[in-house]
Structure 1
């Protein structure tokens, strides 16, 4: 595992965490897999040390999915849903407004519709809350309306694990509640009282993988229902039997498309079962039969064909933002309608609406970010005060609540410390927070809430890296004070300094088109299985650096006497042209480069490229 660190000044002022020299495990894997040493070293750095583990990692198989019946509460949930189908009881799926919640709604509705006897309308209705008007969580008013419409079963997806009041209200209204969720339960109150609670993170649940997203938990319920329906019912009118071979060959892979999108969008680790889900889902997404999603892919510029499907990066940065934009800017129920569209025209129209909403979101985000940049500059100007703050709390009046989560991530990227971004509106403060590795943000705001009277939040929740909350605006100064006190001693300097973990020092001869094929074997990349970073030392800059579109940089680098390669720096967290000039890098400079490998597919000028992550001037002691 990487342990040694180099602290020579780099462009990002980051520590380079270098890999250990390849050990016995890496050498053994390289031989067993007939792969180069850097490939085996990358696997070992991810905890994969045996040939058997490596083969399971490199060739994800649907058989590796765990039995859904291992989830606590699953048996009770399946029995109650099948009972509702048999009695033709209307069912309400209570979703959420992000990618996770909307896709979970679609897949669970699809599964229940599939086992409902043909000839009548769908039993399933759904409710996707409005982010601004309703906020996160199950609302009592929606439950009351459902009861008046004759609904007797409510199934939550991606929400509900802390819905104690909603569970009590359901009981009062005569509604049966099934909770499917993945968020962390309340450590003090436990779980809500319901017919069934399905959450791998609930106390007493022995499910072997705890990192599922909300859509994956809903998929487990869908899987269990479909599997139960492979056995003919005693009463043939109870439910529609599912053909077992069709279930495995067509229906489950189709549902995995949705779960893969949600898993990537929700930034849960792409390890274990999640890796299998995403790998199989991305493969299934090569076949774009659903008209709305196909139109959305086209608008996002995502290529999906029989040879190669979309990458996890395509989903994370092109598709997911367009799906999320509906919940951020308008009505997220449009996402469900897009996925369920029956005609190409309807699907295309809804996809176009999501695409435009994403443009609107980007414009709103840019406007608020400009204000946040001013606040961040003021903080940087007072370094002693900044050091004492720990977790940052930045707020403003009238900011659009739909973009504060994204903006919290932007603040963390720029300031390298956990941050809450809060929008004030009519005396109420609505916030979202993001953290850095090692600092548990949900624990932090939980401590701030209950440290002493008064309690801070009207509602809050989340996990280690991301939280959401609301509170009266006049309590924000107290929140800032309590978080600052909590952070002292818990937010270490190591957490605040960027660390760049390098997977391998790549021999120049390996930087060729065959490397691209080997990297594809390690996909999908994301949280928990990040894209490999490589180091090449003592490279010579061949030409004067070129500025692209006023913000980006292109370097032509000689990596060996025989070969040169283009190195492109995209200015996101750092403005590369300014930094290159500040470091005095010019034609003839010798540099060490940390980079990701990219493939330029231009028919004339294509080939292997570097995407710049960081660089430094080569130390004279290491110059060839």
Structure 2
């Protein structure tokens, strides 16, 4: 029985034929590209061959010229600069990029990162004391600041100048900073809006380097590893300029000159093979993020700027330990939330709302994501604080439930709330929590249907088994790096014969021998599908991702199944 709604993308045959001819592609690859919106041969070529020459002019970013002029002045004067970042991997890599760049230019740059449990996200007035301590009159933000109106006013009143580089959505009005560089500004002329925080920092820093007539290529090669890590870890869409930055950044990361990143790669067990965007998202990023979640993000920043191998090794091990502790804490909160869902029959609602005393603020967002994926409905995970009289919530949502609209409706009840369509957070007084919960559940009940709560699989192409061959596998590698917005392709193959099936020793996974029509016998696997043992001669429609299986030391083709539907003609046999 299919667990998902299947949606097969459509491809115009004539446009696909043109693409196939002009780019010398297989028919299947051409159809896939057209189905994903790459109909023009020149556009498709740029997508398949990401080039740094395709990046826009950073001076098209709003206020970039003003920011560069002020930073150029700091370089000429060798004046101290306070770099104020964020505690996640995007903010930490952006901070490291600015420290590296400014220090190379002779500027005594000093970092400051907020603490999740104390200052919280965004520019904080305590930057005033930090700037005075290092003798800085200029505060440069990265990955924050575009909504920090009060903090910027406080810094201005203290005689400090503020240059903001950020990628979050701005308010209708901007802070009263010397410069506010953000590609989401309504007056932005920059061709790509979805840069990460470190991506915006990279473009502004490049503009500074270019203005100072230093080598732009040398600068790019020295920091693209940081840009790739921050962009992927922040789950930015790997399209447009992000695709270019991550593709080239992964190449730099493979042989990075940063001692700290080399040690982190080794501690994560990734040093023996080519790195992928998935390695950043699931191995490197979580270890960097663990510092800000569990203790202090300065630990991750220290790793990125450390030049001594032994010290870097110690820091990498500390981050690894923090990540293990984070995983244990996350599992404990998840188990408690699952028990609450069962005991209180919370699945009767079209949104999940779980709460408990003392859940760690740095973890509840991860738990919300896990629950949302598990039950596929908007999920609100709330930590209760009796000592402050507050409840702090983290939200993760599905495409059918736009959180920006929901946040606007709950804002009057909250002391603080914000986010974007699929993720958000709020702070509310405990006395208003039940009212907030009832409002959220009522909105979800009104806006969502039962159909909305069935996840959708977007299938790129329906194929015959024999069409998934060596040539197509080679072409699919051109689509990498895979990630948000550029997921690995999914294919649909119908009437596939099951030759045999077995489960893994622990019963969790399903392994199949299959024979698609016109093809040889192939291996297939359905992870977490051990409850679905299939009889021989069953015929299935399969949604799958082809992959190279190197488990036994050599490469073979395997189909990784995402879903299947048993055919009616199979049931009638």
TM superposition score category, shorter chain reference = over 0.9
2:542 is matched with which residue: 573, 583, 593? Answer: 593
1:329-408 paired onto structure 2 within 5 Å: 329-378=294-343, 381=345, 385-387=348-350, 391-408=351-368
Residue of 419, 422, 426 corresponding to 1:465: 422
**Candidates 508, 514, 517, aligned match of 1:557:** 514
2:54 equivalent to 1:64: yes
Matches within 5 A, 1:437-456: 437-450=399-412, 455-456=413-414
Q: 2:395 aligned to 427, 433, 444, which one?
A: 433
Deviation at 1:17, TM superposition (A): 0.8
Change (3 A) 1:223 1:144: same
Quick check: 2:164–2:177 contact (8 Å CA) kept in 1? yes
**Alpha carbons 2:414, 2:426 under 8 Å: kept:** no
Q: After TM superposition, give the deviation of residue 516 of structure 1 in Å.
A: 2.8
Alignment of 1:161-200 (within 5 A): 161-187=146-172, 190-200=173-183
Distance 1:330 1:49, change over 3 A: same
1:538 paired to 2:481: no
Structure-2 change in CA distance of 1:54 and 1:429 (3 Å): same
**What CA distance in whole angstroms lies between the structure 2 residues aligned with 1:549 and 1:40?**
41
TM-score by length of 1: 0.87
Q: Which residue does the alignment assign to 1:213?
A: 196
Does residue 275 (structure 1) correspond to residue 243 (structure 2)? The answer is yes
Given the alignment of the two structures, is residue 577 of structure 1 paired with residue 521 of structure 2, yes or no? no
The secondary structure found in structure 2 opposite 1:369 is helix
- 2:225, 2:256 within 8 Å by CA — same for their partners in 1? no
TM-superposed CA distance for 1:386, in Å, is: 0.9
What whole-Å deviation, never above 9, does each CA across 1:168-207 have from its counterpart, x for those lacking one? 11011111111111111124xx111100001111232222
Q: Find the partner of 2:464 among 507, 510, 518.
A: 507
**Alignment of structure 1 residues 238-277 onto 2, 5 Å:** 242=214, 244=215, 247-248=216-217, 250-277=218-245
SS at match of 1:432: strand
Is the contact made by 1:545 and 1:556 (CA closer than 8 Å) also made in structure 2?
A: no
Against the structure 1 CA distance between its residues 149 and 303, is the aligned structure 2 distance closer, same or farther, given a 3 Å change threshold? closer
Shift of 1:560: 4.0
Are the aligned partners of 2:239 and 2:486 in contact in 1 as well (CA < 8 Å)? yes
Question: CA shift at 1:303, angstroms?
Answer: 4.3
2:90: which partner in 1? 100
The alignment status of 1:620 with 2:569, answered yes or no, reads: yes
| CA separation of 1:129 and 1:557: change in aligned 2, threshold 3 A | same
Aligned CA distance change for structure 1 residues 303 and 618 (closer, same or farther; 3 Å): farther
Q: 1:613 to 1:401 in 2, by over 3 A?
A: same
- 1:358 and 1:216 map into 2 onto residues whose CA distance is 25
Please tell me the root mean square deviation across aligned C-alpha atoms, in Å: 2.1
Is the CA contact 2:20–2:30 (under 8 Å) kept in the aligned structure 1? yes
CA–CA separation in structure 2 for the residues paired with 1:23 and 1:113: 54
Structure 2 residue 402 is the aligned partner of structure 1 residue 417: no
Distance 1:22 1:375, change over 3 A: farther
How far, CA to CA, are the matches of 1:494 and 1:201 in structure 2? 33
Range with bigger deviation, 90-99 or 503-512: 503-512
Q: Pick closer, same or farther for the CA change 1:143–1:601 going to 2, 3 Å.
A: same
Paired residue secondary structure (1:339): helix
Instruction: Determine if contact 1:304/1:310 at 8 Å carries over to the other structure.
Output: no
Partner SS state of residue 363, structure 2: helix
Whole-Å separation in 2 of the counterparts to 1:532 and 1:404: 31
In 2: Cα distance, 1:471 partner to 1:152 partner: 36
| 8 Å Cα contact 1:299-1:355 kept in structure 2 | yes
- Cα deviations across residues 5-40 of structure 1 (Å, max 9, x unaligned)? xxxx41x1x211123365211122122222222211
SS at match of 1:191: coil
Partner of 2:184: 201
Deviations 1:254-290 (A, max 9, x none): 2121111111111121111111111111122221322
Following superposition, the deviation at residue 376 of structure 1 comes to 2.8
Cα gap change, 1:594 to 1:421, in 2 (>3 Å) = same
Give the length in aligned residue pairs. 571
Checking the alignment, whether the CA contact within 8 Å between 2:368 and 2:379 is kept in structure 1 is yes
Spell out structure 1 runs of 4+ moving beyond 6 A: 621-624
What is the CA-CA distance between 1:462 and the residue it aligns to? 2.4
Deviation at 1:223, TM superposition (A): 0.8
Aligned partners of 2:379 and 2:396 also within 8 Å: yes
1:115 aligns with 2:83: no
Secondary structure at the aligned position of 2:10 is classed as coil
Query: Aligned partners of 1:604 and 1:197: how far apart in 2?
Result: 52
Once residues 100 and 262 of structure 1 are traced to their aligned partners in structure 2, the CA distance between those partners, rounded to angstroms, is 4
Q: Would the aligned equivalents of 1:286 and 1:310 in 2 still touch at CA under 8 Å? A: yes
- The DSSP-based 3-state class of the residue aligned with 1:529 is coil
Q: How is 1:140-179 mapped onto 2 (pairs within 5 angstroms)? A: 140-179=125-164
* 2:27 matches 1:42: no
After superposing the two structures, state which structure 1 stretch, 542-551 or 292-301, moved more. 542-551
- 1:216 and 1:341 map into 2 onto residues whose CA distance is 22
Which structure 2 residues correspond to residues 75-86 of structure 1 after superposition, within 5 A? 75-86=65-76
> How many angstroms apart in 1 are the aligned matches of 2:443 and 2:424?
16
- Name 1:5's counterpart in structure 2: none
